[in-house]
């Protein structure tokens, strides 16, 4: 049923175990046992603080961008990059797949990446040039990125539901879903499908957050926009769980192109505890980089 680890059982709901043909009571027993064995239950605030202290941070490659989000992407929560085509969402995802492998003193987590690719945009060549520019062993770097192509939204959901064993066995420290919403958007058209789409999307996001917490990994999703930036978590729909997902552990960054080619503008739109703000970075042959002095820094 897609539960390959104690961690995923511990964070399951009794409803999810129903298809196993066991009673709710039995399902609750199973979940309780799983929780007991990995100590996931009610926590006091001081324990929460301790949990937060185990949060690790990952560099984007740009100090400005890192500072904007409080020092890099955090484990145990979801970071969303949204913006129009070509704004750099997938480029950042590629860069993060390389950076995650850096040792902690260089801003990485010394781990591997899982890339759920829904638009067939993953390019190994791009990884190679980014790894090269960081002076890393290219063969090692490409070995430590597991790519799963998702053909439909259901397939995408299935991949994540079954990711726990891969995560555990491969020292995965980051899960990327690029793009989170593309399949949903093309498959669920028309107002009457909005509720179902939102329900599925929320469940998908919940699965992601639970994996991120259970395995102390970074979680990244991308989201394209047309004219309404907030179409998925804002006014277009009124989801029951959607806002909860969007607001609990969710850092959202809005990316846009600038008048000058490689420079991109990132705006922190929402964060659990940081003020909104803006900063610039650039995308070059080497990947995501800090805009340097000579590049005539531009802020709005
Ligand atoms: P969609 O997935 O279409 O919504 O866009 P996205 O936000 O994922 O865009 P993506 O990250 O793919 O950005 C593409 C842009 O990155 C290109 O238009 C280039 O400006 C830049 N880019 C990509 N590869 C290279 C490269 O090898 N060198 C340089 N200099 N820029 C690159
Ligand atoms: Mg993309």
Alpha carbons within 13 angstroms on the beta-carbon side of residue 195 total 2
Say whether pLDDT at 297 is over 90.
Answer: no
Output the pLDDT for position 43. Answer: 67
Write out the H or E segment, with its range, that includes residue 197.
helix 194-214
Per-residue confidence band for 197, with pLDDT thresholds at 50, 70 and 90 = confident
Beta-strand pair 250-257/263-270: antiparallel
Ligand approaching nearest to the C-alpha of 95: 1
Output the pLDDT for position 232. Answer: 54
More confident residue, 102 or 241: 102
Q: How confident is the model over 241-260, as a mean pLDDT?
A: 70
Name the least confident of 102-116, 146-160, 244-258. 244-258
Q: Taking the model in full, what pTM does it have?
A: 0.84
Please say whether the beta carbons of 220 and 95 come within 8 A.
Answer: no
Say whether pLDDT at 244 is over 50.
Answer: no
Contacts of 45 (CB under 8 A, 6+ apart): none
In angstroms, rounded to a whole number, what is the distance separating the alpha carbons of residues 21 and 38? 25
In angstroms, rounded to a whole number, what is the distance separating the alpha carbons of residues 96 and 176? 9
Ligand 2 centre from 280 Cα, in Å? 19
By CB atoms closer than 10 A (0-12, 13-18, 19+), residue 45 is exposed
In angstroms, rounded to a whole number, what is the distance separating the alpha carbons of residues 153 and 160? 11
Write out the H or E segment, with its range, that includes residue 113.
strand 112-117
Q: How confident is the model over 213-224, as a mean pLDDT?
A: 92
Name the least confident of 20-24, 126-130, 285-289, 294-298. 294-298
- To which residue do tokens 């607001």 refer? 247
Q: What are the tokens at 229?
A: 């930036």
Q: Whose alpha carbon is nearest atom 2 of ligand 1?
A: 85
* Residue 78 near ligand 1, beta carbon < 6 Å: no
**Percent of the chain scored above 90 by pLDDT?**
58
What letter does residue 75 receive in the DSSP assignment?
B
Per-residue confidence band for 250, with pLDDT thresholds at 50, 70 and 90 = confident
Per-residue confidence band for 227, with pLDDT thresholds at 50, 70 and 90 = low
Instruction: Map out the domains of the chain with their CATH numbers.
Output: 1-41 (no CATH), 56-299 (3.40.50.300)
Q: How confident is the model over 253-258, as a mean pLDDT?
A: 92
What SS3 state is found at 11? coil
**Percent of the chain scored above 70 by pLDDT?**
89
Per-residue confidence band for 245, with pLDDT thresholds at 50, 70 and 90 = very low
Name the least confident of 100-114, 115-129, 194-208, 229-243. 229-243
- To which residue do tokens 């439909």 refer? 152
Query: Which of 86, 121, 223 for a ligand 1 pocket mutation test, highest count of atoms within 8 Å of Cβ?
Result: 86
Average pLDDT in the chain: 87
Output the pLDDT for position 243. Answer: 47
Q: Long-range contacts made by residues 126-135, C-beta under 8 angstroms, separation at least 24?
A: 126/91, 126/94, 126/287, 127/94, 127/97, 127/98, 129/285, 129/286, 129/287, 130/94, 130/95, 130/98, 130/286, 130/287, 131/98, 133/285, 133/286, 133/287, 134/98, 134/99, 134/102
Q: What are the tokens at 29?
A: 């027993």
Query: Which of 65, 90, 289 for a ligand 1 pocket mutation test, highest count of atoms within 8 Å of Cβ?
Result: 90
């Amino acid at each position: 049923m897609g539960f390959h680890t104690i961690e995923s059982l511990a964070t399951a709901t009794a409803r999810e175990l129903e298809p196993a043909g066991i009673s709710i009571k039995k399902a609750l027993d199973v979940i309780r046992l799983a929780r007991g064995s990995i100590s996931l239950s009610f926590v006091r605030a001081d324990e929460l603080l301790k949990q937060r202290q185990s949060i690790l941070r990952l560099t984007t490659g740009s100090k400005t961008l890192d500072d904007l989000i409080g020092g890099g992407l955090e484990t145990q929560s979801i970071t969303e990059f949204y913006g129009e085509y070509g704004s750099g969402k997938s480029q950042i995802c590629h860069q993060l797949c390389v950076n995650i492998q850096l040792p902690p003193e260089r801003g990485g987590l010394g781990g591997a990446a899982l890339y759920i690719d829904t638009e067939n945009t993953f390019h190994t060549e791009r990884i190679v040039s980014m790894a090269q520019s960081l002076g890393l062993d290219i063969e090692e770097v490409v070995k430590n990125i597991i790519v799963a192509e998702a053909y439909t939204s259901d397939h995408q959901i299935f991949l994540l539901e079954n990711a726990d064993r891969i995560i555990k066995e491969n020292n995965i420290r980051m899960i990327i879903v690029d793009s989170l919403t593309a399949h949903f958007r093309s498959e669920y058209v028309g107002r009457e499908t909005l509720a179902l789409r939102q329900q599925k999307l929320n469940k998908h996001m919940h699965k992601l957050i639970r994996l991120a917490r259970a395995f102390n990994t970074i979680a990244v999703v991308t989201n394209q926009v047309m004219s309404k930036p907030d179409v998925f978590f804002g006014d277009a729909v009124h989801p029951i769980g959607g806002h909860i997902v969007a607001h609990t552990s969710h850092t959202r960054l809005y990316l846009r192109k600038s008048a000058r080619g490689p420079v991109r503008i990132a705006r922190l739109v929402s964060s659990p505890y940081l003020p909104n703000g803006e900063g610039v970075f650039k995308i070059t042959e080497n990947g995501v980089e800090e805009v340097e002095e000579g590049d005539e820094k531009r802020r709005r």
